[in-house]
Amino acid sequence: MKLSSEHVALITGASRGIGKAVAIRLGLAGARVVVNYNSGKSEATEVVNIINANGGEAISLGADIRDEDQVLAMFQQIIKLWGRIDVLVNNAGIRKDKLLMRMTTAEWDSVIDTNLKGAYICSKTALAHMVRQRRGRIINMSSVIGLSGNPGQANYAASKSGLIGLTKTIAREVATRNVTVNAVAPGYIMTNMVEDLADDLKDLVKSRIPMNRFGSPDDVAGLVVFLSTDDASYITGQIIGVDGGLAI
C-alpha cells in the first residue's frame, strides 16, 4: 500500500502508542507526516527521527487539539510548508475512569473535550482544505468500548460512541467531494493503557478475546494506512473493528 509523496498526513496524539505506529507506517508508505503532540515533545521528535531515518519526510507540531486557535495555527503551518492536507487521523485520546456516580464534571469534560471535541475541531479545519482539493481521508480512532460500553468508563465510552456518530454524519456530508470518513474501533491493544492493567485482569480480558491475544499498535496502523490510500476510495462511513473478534 503506497501513498504519493505529495500526500500530507496529520496524526494527532502521535508521540506514542497507536498514534506513533500510525505515523511511522504512513511515513513508510510514502506520505509526508505531521506528528502532533500536546506534552510529549521529545517523544514526538523521536517519531520524526524514525520516519526521516527510513527515507520519509516528517515534522512534529505541538498543539492542544481542544483549543481551536492552536489547531488553526497548526494547520496554517502545515499549509505554509506543504500546501495541502490529505489525511487526518484523529487519534489523540485520554481516559479518566471512574464509576459515573463518583465521576466529577471536570473528569467528564476533560475526556469529552479531548476525545470528541478535539476530533470535531480538527475535522472541521481539515475539511476546509480537503473539500477544495476534492481529495481527503479522515480516520477517527474510536474503540470497542464505544460499541459496547464498559463499567467505569462512561465518559470514555460516550466520547468514542460520539466519534461513531460524527464519522457517519461527516461521511454523508462530504461524500460527493471525494473525501472519505471512517472510524477504526480497536480492542485491547498493547499500549500503556493495557500494559498498566493488573496481571489477573489482563488474563481475564484475554480469555474473552476469541483470538486469545492482545493486538499490537501495528495491527491498527495497517488498517489506517489502507483507509488512507486510493484503494479505499469507495469505503466511507464505516466503523471497522481491530479487536481479535472481541465484538463478535
Q: Report the catalytic residues.
A: 156
Q: How far is CA 89 from the centre of its chain?
A: 4
Distance of CA 62 to the CA centre of its chain: 16
Residue 144 to residue 86: CA distance in whole angstroms: 26
What does DSSP say about strands 8-11 and 239-242: parallel, antiparallel, or unpaired?
Answer: unpaired
Question: What does the angle CA 23 – CA 14 – CA 182 come to, to the nearest 5 degrees?
Answer: 70
Q: Could you tell me which residues come within 8 angstroms of residue 8 by beta carbon, excluding any fewer than 6 positions away?
A: 31, 32, 33, 34, 78, 82, 84, 85, 86, 87
> How many of the other CB atoms lie within 10 Å of CB of 234?
7
Cell 496529520 appears where?
Answer: 10
Rounded CA-CA distance 121/88 in Å is: 12
